[in-house]
């Protein structure tokens, strides 16, 4: 799995960082998400899928083999 993130779309809702804190975080200055691990392991797959599904801006895209 690879995480693709469209930063300009991000509305800083923070859902991704709450659901998958090992994969996403937020910048202190504006709350925009950052990807900590662009290729998370299988142990994070379910939470990353959920984070992508609930992102209000649809800024997270998952590429799966």
Q: What's the whole-model pTM score? A: 0.95
- Kindly report the number of other CB atoms within 10 A of residue 12's CB atom: 13
pLDDT in tens, 3-50: 999 999 999 999 999 999 999 999 999 999 999 999 999 999 999 999
Q: Are 3 and 39 in contact (CB under 8 A)?
A: yes
The domain limits of the chain are 2-63
- Tokens linked to 23: 């994969």
Going by pLDDT thresholds of 50, 70 and 90, the confidence category of residue 65 is confident
pLDDT at 4: 98
CATH of 2-63, one of 2.40.50.140, 3.30.70.20, 3.30.70.360, 3.30.450.40: 3.30.70.20
């Amino acid at each position: 799995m690879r995480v693709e993130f469209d930063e300009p779309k991000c509305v800083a809702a923070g859902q991704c960082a709450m659901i998958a804190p090992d994969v996403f975080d937020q910048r202190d200055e504006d709350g925009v998400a950052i990807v900590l691990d662009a290729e998370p392991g299988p142990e994070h797959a379910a939470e990353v899928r959920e984070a992508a599904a609930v992102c209000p801006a649809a800024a997270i895209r998952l590429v799966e083999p």
